[in-house]
Amino acid sequence: MGPEFTSRILIVDDNLEDLRWCSAILEHEGYEVDACNSYVEGAARASTGRYDFVLVDQGGPNFAGQEVVKQATEMNRHTPVLVVTRCLEMSAYLEAMQLGALDYLEMPVPAPFLLREIESHVHPVAA
């Protein structure tokens, strides 16, 4: 299906395999992807407010992706931020939700589900 117009998506993940996988799927669907494997750099990019969607990995049990979520939601509280992880942590989940993340999912996320999740927030269906 893909986007009707080019949407900018920021992906931040220190796992290069996951970063490449997500980037390839989204680029194939026509999204403009800005991929970053550094949480510090990702937070700086998120602080620009130039993105239609932010996908960030939790970054381990200490929630290294926290600052990315914080920057993205502070710049524009309407920017959807999805946190993904390979190590579920209840404290990180709660913190992500408190910071304004729309969801917190365990990787690997099936590609069709990931695309539906993004499309439903980047292109809301009119009621």
Amino acid found at 19: L
The pTM score is: 0.90
Query: Residues 5-28: pLDDT tens digits?
Result: 679 999 999 999 999 999 999 999
Contact 92, 58 (CB under 8 A): yes
Contact 80, 109 (CB under 8 A): no
**What is d(CA 46, CA 44) in angstroms, rounded to the nearest whole number?**
5
Could you give the domains of the chain?
8-122 (3.40.50.2300)
Element (H, E) at 12: strand 8-12
Query: Residues 54-92: pLDDT tens digits?
Result: 999 999 888 999 999 999 999 888 899 999 998 888 999
Contact 81, 100 (CB under 8 A): yes
Name the residue with tokens 């993205």: 72
**What is d(CA 85, CA 78) in angstroms, rounded to the nearest whole number?**
22
CA distances from 43 to 1, 22, 38, 49, 74 (A): 30, 18, 9, 10, 11
Tokens of 112: 């069709």
